[in-house]
Amino acid sequence: MKVLVAVKRVVDYNVKVRVKADNSGVDLANVKMSMNPFCEIAVEEAVRLKEKGVASEIVVVSIGPSTAQEQLRTALALGADRAILVESSDELNSLAVAKLLKAVVDKEQPQLVILGKQAIDSDNNQTGQMLAALSGYAQGTFASKVEVAGDKVNVTREIDGGLQTVALNLPAIVTTDLRLNEPRYASLPNIMKAKKKPLDVLTPDALGVATASTVKTLKVEAPAARQAGIKVKSVAELVEKLKNEAKVI
Average pLDDT, the chain: 93
Query: How large a percentage of the chain has pLDDT more than 90?
Result: 73
pTM value is: 0.86
* CATH number for the segment(s) 2-244: 3.40.50.620
pLDDT digits (tens, 9 = 90+) for 14-58: 998 888 889 888 888 889 999 999 999 999 999 999 999 999 999
Contact 43, 180 (CB under 8 A): no
Q: Residue 63: which pLDDT band, with cuts at 50, 70 and 90?
A: very high
Q: Where are the domains of the chain?
A: 2-244
pLDDT digits (tens, 9 = 90+) for 122-138: 899 999 999 999 999 99
Please, where are the H alpha helices in 6-60?
37-51
Distance CA(79)–CA(46), nearest Å, equals 9
pLDDT digits (tens, 9 = 90+) for 221-249: 888 888 888 888 999 999 998 998 888 88
How crowded is residue 93: how many other Cβ atoms within 10 Å of its Cβ?
A: 17
Distances in Å between the Cα of 221 and the Cα atoms of 41, 93, 118, 121 are: 30, 19, 21, 14
